[in-house]
């Protein structure tokens, strides 16, 4: 065969150029999973069967998927349609990439949720006829399960409240519009009242907003509650504020409509300290400016970090590469990465109040040296503005959906149409270049874990890095309005790896010592080898 003498050289050049572009390309990749699931993913919750319960609101107008079994809702108080035969909730199966409609009849708009110790989603409140409803979704392996709604179960209306699971397995429901108090679920004679929480009225903005406060369960059993620019530690049992933290540096607002986001950074053995990260948001007058004059002010570029267990804590401020409001923050299974995704770079949350979608996610690495913690990721082309969401899946991908900045579904003649799609963002650790480092869990001694007790995991891996191995546990979070309720990550105390003759590796890990650190329920357990996580397995602790 006669080839031109230049061909080998050109091939070499081509591969060289490919290598360069690969090196220069931003990390992570996007895949469109579903162009249209019928509803807009305003709220998302992964359950331990790898299916995601997704819902928006019943008064958005006609969705793009019919209610099961030819049902219709008739609701004379409904503001969009008094008869609506479409569904406003679906179950998405992350394994088969398929979905089915669910039946939710009362309004779930801007509600909150928690997964109970038995793995059922307990979702609370909403709007109008749904504001005091508690809805339970008990997952099943076939397609027979659906929502069960119980009317007027909450003591007061909960619209834009934040929930958190507690060490005893119950849920606390905090705040909501014009609710400066909290209550508990399940309802027993002891939980039929509400408890005042003046901190919420003290921190509201001029429009009476500080909705969806950021709530994290600290290692001492108290709740860290962050509202706009202030934060406290709440002893919910005694109804007492036990600590008041300094206001976050820069007087701007971080809660709805100035929606920033927040995570409790990974908790590591010996679990002696806890640190909170708050990123993004908008200046106080951003909402008024967008609403009255159509001026979209640049969102905040800062993140604040606070060691909430320090004796004299102070906020340490860092600057993101881009401004962001309505971003979602996710703890990734590596235990070393916080993904900041979705949102906009100007305006605020609310109808038609944001511009300049944030197409580019940012990775934040809490353990990296200050000044080199942020890294821009591959961009999407889909705007994910108000009412978008993002959650971690067991295989390490991030499921992204939603965006509807309009009062009803609006698919045409608008700048940012209502979005019914689902995408997956796959962080760089899922790239095939990392295949050799990716562990695969083969067996686990038991998926029923006990507090403080050892369990063992057997795994295979191409290239084992004994010094860079960890075992991490993550519960599935309830995501809505840029905040993931109940999100936490526990790095477990792990033994040295023992490799047997057949090449199988075994690591012994100690389950978290208490329900304060890991409230009861289902968790995804990951083995991480030199920063590359395995696919998780579901385990239960109680
Ligand atoms: C969904 O949208 C498609 C395309 O516009 C339409 O043909 C279909 O009837 C819609 N389905 C429902 C249930 O609204
Ligand atoms: C915090 O917000 C309030 C408005 O609620 C504002 O008056 C105050 O100046 C802000 N605090 C700081 C430290 O900037
Ligand atoms: C969609 O938005 C356009 C432009 O604002 C408006 O004219 C139309 O009435 C909206 N449609 C619905 C269903 O709200």
Q: How do residues 196-237 score in pLDDT, each as one tens digit?
A: 999 999 999 888 888 999 999 999 999 999 999 999 999 999
Whole-number Å distance, alpha carbon 77 to ligand 1 midpoint, is: 25
Q: Please determine, for residue 9, whether its predicted confidence score (pLDDT) is greater than 60.
A: no
Decide whether any atom of ligand 1 lies within 6 Å of the 66 Cβ.
yes
Range with lowest mean pLDDT among 107-111, 208-212, 428-432: 208-212
d(CA 355, CA 415): 9
- 3-class DSSP assignment, residue 429: helix
Q: Please determine, for residue 169, whether its predicted confidence score (pLDDT) is greater than 80.
A: yes
Q: Chain centroid to CA 465: how far? A: 30
Question: pLDDT tens across 473-513, in order?
Answer: 999 999 999 999 999 999 999 999 999 999 999 999 999 99
Decide whether any atom of ligand 3 lies within 6 Å of the 410 Cβ.
yes
Residue 31's CB is within 10 A of a number of other CB atoms, namely 10
State how far the alpha carbon of 35 is from the alpha carbons of 30, 31, 102, 329, 420, in Å. Answer: 13, 11, 19, 24, 7
Mean pLDDT of 71-89: 93
Higher-scoring residue by pLDDT: 210, 295: 295
d(CA 59, CA 130): 11
Residues 328, 340: contact at Cβ < 8 Å? Answer: yes
Mean pLDDT of 301-324: 98
Continuous H helices in 58-154: none
Token code pair at residue 316: 């340490």
Return the best residue to mutate from 38, 63, 64 for the ligand 1 pocket (most ligand atoms within 8 A of CB). 64
Give the angle 410-413-414 at the CA atoms, nearest 5°. Answer: 65
- 3-class DSSP assignment, residue 402: strand
Range with lowest mean pLDDT among 16-30, 51-65, 79-93: 16-30
Specify the pairing of strand 448-449 against strand 537-541.
parallel
Q: Which residue has the tokens 């331990």?
A: 48
b or e along 420-454 (b: 16 or more beta carbons within 10 Å of the residue's beta carbon)? bbbbbbbbbbbeeebeebbbebeebeeeebebeee
Range with lowest mean pLDDT among 76-85, 331-340, 362-371, 532-541: 76-85
Q: For residue 510, is the peptide bond before it cis, meaning its omega torsion is within 30 degrees of 0? A: no
Position 383 confidence tier, pLDDT thresholds 50, 70, 90 = very high
Mean pLDDT of 169-187: 97
Q: Which residue has the tokens 């703890």?
A: 331
Q: Please determine, for residue 328, whether its predicted confidence score (pLDDT) is greater than 50.
A: yes
Question: Residue 236, by phi and psi: left (phi above 0), alpha (psi -120 to 50) or beta?
Answer: alpha
Q: List % helix, strand, coil for the chain (3-state, nearest 5).
A: 10, 35, 55
Measuring from atom 7 of ligand 2, which residue has the nearest CA? 251
Position 250 confidence tier, pLDDT thresholds 50, 70, 90 = confident
Whole-number Å distance, alpha carbon 350 to ligand 3 midpoint, is: 16
Whole-number Å distance, alpha carbon 404 to ligand 3 midpoint, is: 12
Position 20 confidence tier, pLDDT thresholds 50, 70, 90 = very low
The pairs formed by 404-412 with CB atoms below 8 angstroms and a separation of 24 or more are 404/40, 404/42, 404/56, 404/60, 405/350, 405/351, 405/352, 405/353, 405/354, 406/351, 406/352, 407/351, 408/60, 408/61, 408/80, 409/40, 409/60, 409/61, 409/62, 409/63, 409/64
DSSP summary character for residue 253: B
The CATH number that domain 438-541 falls under is: 2.60.40.10
Q: What is the atom index within ligand 1 of the atom nearest the CA of 66?
A: 13
Residues of the chain with pLDDT > 90, as a percent, come to 93
Measuring from atom 14 of ligand 2, which residue has the nearest CA? 251
Mean pLDDT of the chain: 95
Beta bridge partners of 148: 136
Q: Please determine, for residue 79, whether its predicted confidence score (pLDDT) is greater than 90.
A: no
Find the ligand nearest to 284 CA. Answer: 2
Decide whether any atom of ligand 3 lies within 6 Å of the 408 Cβ.
yes
Measuring from atom 14 of ligand 1, which residue has the nearest CA? 64
Measuring from atom 1 of ligand 1, which residue has the nearest CA? 64
Q: Please determine, for residue 73, whether its predicted confidence score (pLDDT) is greater than 70.
A: yes
Mean pLDDT of 446-452: 98
Q: Please determine, for residue 7, whether its predicted confidence score (pLDDT) is greater than 60.
A: no
pTM given for the model: 0.95
Residues 441, 417: contact at Cβ < 8 Å? Answer: no
Mean pLDDT of 8-18: 50
Q: Of 387, 332, 323, 388, nearest to 360 (Cα)? A: 323
Decide whether any atom of ligand 3 lies within 6 Å of the 351 Cβ.
no
Range with lowest mean pLDDT among 31-40, 76-85, 94-103, 193-202: 76-85
What are the structural domain ranges in the chain?
Answer: 438-541
d(CA 398, CA 439): 19
d(CA 182, CA 171): 10
Give the angle 39-44-46 at the CA atoms, nearest 5°. Answer: 125
Q: Report pLDDT for 24.
A: 59
Whole-number Å distance, alpha carbon 354 to ligand 3 midpoint, is: 17
Higher-scoring residue by pLDDT: 42, 13: 42
Q: What is the atom index within ligand 1 of the atom nearest the CA of 411?
A: 5
């Amino acid at each position: 065969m006669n080839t031109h003498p230049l061909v080998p050289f050109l091939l070499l050049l081509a591969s060289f150029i490919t290598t360069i572009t690969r090196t220069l390309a931003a990390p992570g990749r996007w895949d469109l999973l579903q162009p249209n699931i019928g509803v807009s993913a305003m709220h998302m919750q992964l359950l331990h069967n790898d299916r995601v319960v997704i819902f928006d609101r019943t008064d958005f107008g006609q969705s793009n998927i019919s209610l099961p079994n030819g049902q219709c809702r008739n609701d004379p108080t409904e503001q969009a349609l008094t008869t609506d035969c479409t569904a406003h909730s679906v179950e998405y199966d992350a394994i088969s990439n398929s979905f089915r409609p669910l039946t939710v009849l009362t309004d779930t708009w801007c509600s909150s949720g928690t997964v109970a110790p038995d793995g059922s989603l307990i979702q609370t409140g909403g709007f109008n006829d749904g504001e005091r409803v508690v809805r339970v979704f008990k997952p099943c392996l076939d397609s027979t399960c659906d929502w069960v709604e119980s009317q007027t179960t909450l003591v007061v209306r909960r619209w834009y409240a934040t929930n958190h699971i507690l060490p005893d397995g119950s849920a606390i429901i905090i705040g909501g519009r014009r609710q400066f108090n909290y209550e508990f679920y399940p309802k027993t004679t002891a939980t039929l009242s509400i408890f005042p929480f003046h901190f919420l009225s003290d921190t509201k903005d001029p429009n009476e907003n500080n909705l969806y406060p950021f709530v994290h369960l600290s290692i001492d059993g108290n709740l860290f509650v962050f509202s706009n620019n202030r934060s406290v530690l709440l002893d919910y049992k005694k109804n007492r504020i036990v600590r008041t933290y300094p206001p976050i540096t820069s007087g701007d607002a971080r809660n709805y409509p100035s929606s920033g986001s927040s995570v409790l950074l990974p908790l590591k053995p010996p679990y002696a300290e806890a640190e909170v990260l708050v990123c993004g948001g908008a200046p106080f007058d951003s909402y008024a400016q967008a609403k009255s004059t159509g001026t979209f002010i640049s969102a905040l570029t800062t993140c604040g970090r606070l060691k909430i267990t320090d004796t004299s804590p102070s906020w340490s401020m860092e600057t993101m590469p881009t401004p962001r409001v309505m971003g979602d923050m996710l703890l990734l299974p590596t235990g070393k990465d916080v993904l900041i995704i979705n949102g906009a770079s100007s305006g605020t949350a609310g109808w038609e109040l944001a511009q300049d979608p944030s197409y580019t996610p940012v990775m934040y690495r809490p353990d990296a040296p200050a000044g080199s913690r942020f890294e821009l990721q591959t961009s999407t082309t889909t705007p994910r503005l108000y009412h978008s969401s993002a959650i971690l899946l067991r295989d390490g991908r991030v499921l992204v959906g939603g965006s509807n900045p309009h009062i009803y579904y609006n698919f045409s003649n608008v700048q940012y149409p209502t979005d019914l799609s689902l995408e997956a963002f796959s962080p760089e650790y899922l790239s095939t270049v990392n295949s050799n480092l990716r562990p695969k869990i083969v067996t686990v001694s038991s998926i029923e874990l006990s507090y403080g007790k050892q369990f063992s995991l057997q795994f295979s891996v191409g290239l084992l890095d004994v010094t860079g191995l960890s075992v991490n546990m993550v519960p599935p979070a309830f995501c809505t309005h840029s905040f993931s309720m109940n999100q936490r990550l526990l790095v477990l105390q792990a033994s040295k790896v023992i490799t047997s003759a057949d090449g199988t590796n075994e690591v012994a890990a100690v389950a978290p010592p208490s329900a304060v650190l890991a409230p009861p329920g289902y968790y995804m357990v990951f083995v991480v080898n030199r920063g590359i996580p395995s696919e998780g397995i579901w385990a239960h602790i109680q």
